[in-house]
Structure formats: structure tokens, C-alpha cells
Chains A and B, each alone.
Chain A
Amino acid sequence: MTVSPLTPTDLARIRADFPILARELHGQPLAYLDSASTSQKPQQMLDAMTSFYSTSNANVHRGVYTLGVESTDAFEAARDAVAALLNAPSRREVIFTRNTTEALNLVAKTYGVQNCGPGDVIVSTVLEHHANLVPWQVLAEQTGATLRFLDIDDEGNLQLDALDAIAREGNVKLVAVTHQSNTLGVRPPVAEIVAWAHAQGAVVVLDAAQTVPNRPVDVQALDVDFLAFSGHKTLGPTGIGALWGRESLLADLQPFLTGGEMIRSVKLERTSWNALPWKFEAGTPAYAEAVGLHAAIDYLQAVGLEAIDAHEHAITDYALGRLAEVPGLRIIGPQTAAARGGVVSFVLDDVHPHDIAEILDRHAVCVRAGHHCTQPLIERLGLAATVRASFYLTTTEAEIDRLVAGLLDVRRVMGV
């Protein structure tokens, strides 16, 4: 299937929906190239939250009065929207969390703790964001399980040759992998990993924080067992994310957090748990944020996730070509757009990435500098830090041109 990327007219119309893009910094229009950190927000999402708070706000699953009913309906409609976005077989499989990190911790502290023990093996990769690495380290320490990491080649491509040895070791219980590296943009071969993991009788936890925002993600086609993403990278507000998990797995798990909302009945001696998904949603949930996320999903689907993916591919291809013109610049990760998403890490001679990001800021170009919450990956690559530019549905070639002009100015200022 070939989908046309966004046209210049589409882009202009989309950009007009993002009020922050009208802001100027240091007398220049903003060039926001840090969407892999967090996305900017369309007016439609902001309006949905304001309208909800202005007209329907009441705590969910409580009130018999009209506002409480409207609020609950809006919250549960957001769950339906997430289920549809992910092609989940059932809305009961969608658990709202604060973000990807909390969703992954939920899996580690429920499924992980209840299924892993001494002699068991957990597999992850050196590509992972700390959010999909530290919870498994802690789980291994708590349960006595062993944690194994798949390595990469020097371009960041995941190496699967260690899987045979891990399979011989046996007792693989859980495989945690990213859908797309937040630092390199590289996309690991998830289908092969899922097939291998299921052959071992292990479950697969997919960190989809970098892919749910910008391309179709189908949990049934992926055949993973758990999947996590964040609302704030998906045009939605902060404070809301989601975990999708197979109902057959979630049904048997003990709760994550306990308290209100997640109970069926509470007696002083004993409490019984609520049905899925509410068993995993203790306390007042971020229901207004869920309404915002719903509006964000509607926005993404109106633009079309295939079109956004195609746009990111085209803009990444353009960026890789333009960045190659900057003397002394070295792309870290895959050298072509074919093998990656809209995230480009690079270094420039021996100029420290923080100096680069600071000088680019004076050109109103917003990029991230540092280890991007992937310290083991940065160390594996023999680096201390990189500069990362990341793209989304609002990114234009003109913004890439300003990045390149800014980098030439970095060379001038730093005398390289």
C-alpha cells in the first residue's frame, strides 16, 4: 500500500492547528524538532479538555447525577477510542496509566512478579529507553530471574544471533523490546522476536511510545502480549498513557495499585477486585486527560496515520540528505530513511551536544542533547551524548533547512 505524504497545503493546514507554532523565540519562528520527547498540541485537543472542564466535569463512576454520567461516558468513550486505535479485541484490555513508564512498571510489578522466579530468564535489548530497562532490572533483582540483553551492530540494528543460546538456556518468561528506538529511530524486527518468544512460551512486552503517535499500530497483527504508549507524545496531554494487554493474561493477575475504583466490594477483613480494566485503575483516573487523548486520536485519524508515517519518512529522507552537507557531522544509527522512523541522532566533530543544542536554541531550533534516557545504548555506541532531532506531522523542509543553517553557525561559533 502506497500512501501519499502530506502535501504542502495539508502541512500548512495542520500547522495552523498548533498554536505554539506561532510563537517566536529570539525573533525567529519556532522550529520544534523534539517530538520524540513530547508532541506539541492541536487546538482541537486543547478545546476538548477546556470544554469538558467547562461543561461536564464530575468524578467518574460515582455520580448518579447528570454530570457524573456525562463524565463517565466521556472517559469510557476515550477507552473505546484507544481500543480502536490499537485494534484491540476488547475494550477490557485497555488500562489507562500515567504514561508508558507506568504501563511498563505495571507489567513488571504484576505479570513479572507473579510469573518470574529464580532460574527464569527475562530478555531485553541495549536499544531500550530506561523505562523499558530499569523495571526489568528491578524485577530480576526481586525475583532472582536472570536478565539478558540483545546487542546491536554499529548502526543500531538489533542482533538476533544470541537468541539460540538464550533458547538453549531455557525458561524464558518475558521479552521486552522497543518498537522504535527513541534515540536512533531504528525499528527492531519485532515479528521475528515475537515468533521466537512465543516458541519459548514467553510473553512479549512492546514499548510503542515512539510508534503509536505516527503510524498504524495493530496489536493483533503484531501478536504481542502487552503494549504501552504515552498520550503526551500522541498530541494528547501529559498524565495519561495506556497499557494494552491480552485479556487472558490480565484476568489472572493480582492488582497493581490498590484503593478506590479498583474494588468490587471492601470489607474490613477482605476485598474483592473490580472487573477488567478497572481492576488496574486505582483512584480517580486522569479522566479529563483521557478526553484530551480521545480528541488527539480523532485528530490523528482525521489526518491519517498512514499519511503521517509517509510524511515522516519523506522528511527524514530529506533531513538525512541535508545533514550530510554539514562538514564533520556524523549520523548515529541507520544511514538511510528506509530502516528508521523520524528520529535522527548525530554528533558534530568533537563539539559537545549541549553546546550544539544551546547554539541552535539561539536560532529558535529546539533539539534534544544528551543520552535521551538510553545510557546503556549511548555507552554501547562509544559516545557520551548525541544531538537528536525528531520529526512529526508538523515538520517542514524549511525547519530542516534552519537546523542545517544553525549547525553551520555552530561550526563558526565553536571554531571547528
Chain B
Amino acid sequence: MDDLYRENLMDHYQHPRHHGPMAECDAEAEGQNPLCGDQVIVQVKLTDGTIEEMRFTGHGCAISQAATSMLTELVQGLTVDEAAALPSQAILDELAIPLSAMRVKCAVLGLGTLKLALHRSAGTPLPAEWGDTDEMVWS
């Protein structure tokens, strides 16, 4: 099982990066997967259209929380357009572990919530590919 719960993933789960609320932010959204009770709240600080910092809070399984922690490092310094265009595969590559279809939803919860925050902040609609994740609850 160590191929699944490998060291890097567990390190992010137990020591999440950029974790905890941000006093002032430019974009914010909450994502929940009611099937497993996973929840993340994403906050983003922007400078000139670039992600200065993404922070998150929440709770859930190791996959959802570690993937969101990895995401905070992945998107730092990206432009809003670059981050909003990140494919799910980017976070799956980051996790670098085999995931069943059910656990993929856990893995992309943070990314979907970040995209919602960025699109909401820019006043643009969430892309269609996030519209079919109907198990998720976005707010």
C-alpha cells in the first residue's frame, strides 16, 4: 500500500503547506464532496493578475487534503489564466499515485474549488468541464 500512501503524499497530508485562513483575499470559494464529507475552502491573494499565494482550510481524506496542499505550491506565481486552465491531470501528476475513479474526485476537489474562486473573482463562468462534477457542492 505504500505505493498509494507514499511518503510525499503523507508529508503533505500531515504537514499541509499554505494551510490556515488568510485575513484578506482577492478570491475565495468552498468545495465539498458530500459523498465522503471532504471539504476545502480556498483563498487566493492576487498581484497584477498573478497568484501571490493560495491558502486553504478544510478537512477530509488524505488524498483531498494532500492534493490541495500540493496545489498551493503548484499555482504559486502562475497567472490567473494559467491557473484557471490547469487540467485535472496536473494535480494527478503531482500526486503520482494510481487512483480509482472515486478517489479522483477527492484529488481534484481543491483544483475545482480554486477554479471556482478565480472565475468568480473575474466574473467569468466556471468552465463546462467542472459543471459535470455533480456530486460536488460548490459555494
Chain A interfacial positions (CB closer than 8 Å to B): 352-355, 358-359, 362-363, 369-371, 375, 384-385, 409, 413-415
Contact = CB atoms under 8 A, between A and B. Distances in A.
**Residue with the highest number of chain A CB atoms closer than 10 Å, among B5, B10, B59:** B5
A356 to B, nearest CB: 9
B106 interface: yes
**B contacts with A: majority SS:** loop
B118 to A, nearest CB: 27
Contact-size category for B: 10 to 19
A352 B103 CA distance: 13
B1 A362 contact: yes
Interface string B56-68: 0001111100000
Contacts of B10: 413-415
Contacts of A359: 1, 4-5
B2 A352 contact: no
B36 interface: yes
Contacts of A362: 1, 4
A415 B5 CA distance: 11
B37 A385 contact: yes
Contacts of A371: 35, 37
B104 to A, nearest CB: 12
A355 B35 contact: no
Contacts of B5: 355, 359, 413-414
Nearest to B64: A352
Interface of B: 1-2, 4-5, 10, 14, 34-38, 59-63, 103, 106
Given A352-B60, A352-B61, A385-B37, A415 B14 contact: yes
A352 B10 CA distance: 13
Contacts of B35: 370-371
A294 to B, nearest CB: 35
Given A414-B10, A415-B10, A354 B36 contact: yes
26 contacts: A352-B38, A352-B60, A352-B61, A352-B62, A354-B36, A354-B61, A354-B63, A355-B61, A355-B62, A358-B1, A358-B103, A359-B1, A362-B1, A363-B1, A370-B35, A371-B35, A371-B37, A375-B34, A384-B37, A384-B59, A385-B37, A413-B5, A413-B10, A414-B5, A414-B62, A415-B14
Nearest to A413: B5
A369 B102 CA distance: 12
A370 B1 CA distance: 21
B77 to A, nearest CB: 31
Nearest to B37: A384
Nearest to A362: B1
B58 to A, nearest CB: 11
Contacts of A352: 36-38, 60-62
Contacts of A370: 35-36
Given A352-B36, A352-B61, A353-B36, 17 more contacts: A352-B60, A354-B36, A354-B63, A358-B1, A359-B4, A363-B1, A371-B35, A371-B37, A375-B34, A384-B37, A385-B37, A409-B1, A413-B5, A414-B5, A414-B10, A414-B62, A415-B10
A369 B34 CA distance: 13
